[in-house]
Structure formats: structure tokens, C-alpha cells
Amino acid sequence: MKVKLKSWTAVATWRWVANDDNCGICRMAFDGCCPDCKLPGDDCPLVWGECSHCFHIHCIVKWLNSQQVNQLCPMCRQDWKFKE
């Protein structure tokens, strides 16, 4: 007798990998979503800056739009540039 694998359905869930637990802007957990969204996941993604700080995309965009002159990272005050 030998058992052979014919097919397999592997189930996994995904989570964000961030240096922090919370978004520095809205203070909500990265596992959750920004205050404007209802459900976490693909619809409320995270983004990283070159300074390696990470925020909900909705939060950082809102922040950047509110800045008149220089667009700085709200955490380290360096110029904000999206990673990649």
C-alpha cells in the first residue's frame, strides 16, 4: 500500500508586513483598514515610502494633498517618495 498525492488545495490568508503595528496617521491597526474604509484587504492597501515608513494609502494621500509646499513623511520629516 502506498498513498500518493493526487491533488492538493492549500489554503492561506495574507497579512501586511510592516515595521509597525499601527498606521502613524490614523493610528488604526494595519490589520484593519483606514477610517474611511469598511473592510481591510485589497481595497485599503498599505504603501511604503523610501524612508521605509508605511501608511494606509488613503491616509498618506490625504496627508500629502494637505501639504502646500514640501511633501514630507509625517514620521521622519524627510521628503516623501513612494518606494519602487
Partner 1 sequence: MLKQGQSQFEEKWPSMRPSVLKLLRQEPVTRSEWHDLFWAVHSVCLWDDKGPHKVYEALQYDILEFIKHAQTRVLQHHEDSALLKAYIAEWGKFFTQCDYLPKPFMQLETSLAAKTHTPMQKKPQGEESIVRKLMLDSWNHSIFSNIKQRLQDSAMKLVHAERNGEAFDSQLVIGVRESYVNLSSDVEDKLKIYRENFEKAYLEATKDFYKLKAPQYLQANGVQNYMRYADTKLKEEETRAQRYLETSWGCTSVSGLTECCVNVLVTAFKETILQECAQMIRNNETEKLRLMFNLMDRVPDGITPMLHDLEAHVVNQGLADMIAAADIITSDSEKYVEQLLELFNLFVYVLLQDSEKYVEQLLELFNRFSLLVHEAFNDDPRFLTARDKAYKNVVNDTSVFKLEIPIKNKGMGTKTQPESKCPELLANYCDMLLRKTPLSKKLTSEEVEKKLRDVLLVLKYVQNKDVFMRYHKAHLTRRLILDTSADNEKEENMVEWLREVGMPADYVNKLARMFQDIKVSEDLNSEFKDAHRNNNEYIADSINIKILNAGAWARSSDRLSVSLPMELEDYIPQVEDFYRQKHSGRKLQWHHLMSNGIITFNNDIGRFDVEVTTFQMTVLFAWNQRPKDKISYESLKLATELPDAELRRTLWSLVAFPKIKRQVLSCSGEVKAPKDITDGTQFWVNQEFALVKNGKVQKRGKINLIGRLQLSTEKSKEEDNEGIMQLRILRVQASGKKKLNLM
φ, ψ at 65 (rounded to 5°): -65, -25
Query: Nine-digit cell at 13?
Result: 490568508
> In the complex with partner 1, which residue's Cβ is closer, 11 or 69?
11
CB 80 within 8 A of CB 60: yes
CA distance 37 to 30: 12
Site string for partner 1, 16-55 (x = CB under 8 A): xxx------------xxx----xxxxx---x-x-----x-
> Shortest gap between Cβ of 13 and partner 1 (angstroms)?
4
Residues forming the site for partner 1 (CB under 8 A) = 1-18, 31-33, 38-42, 46, 48, 54, 84
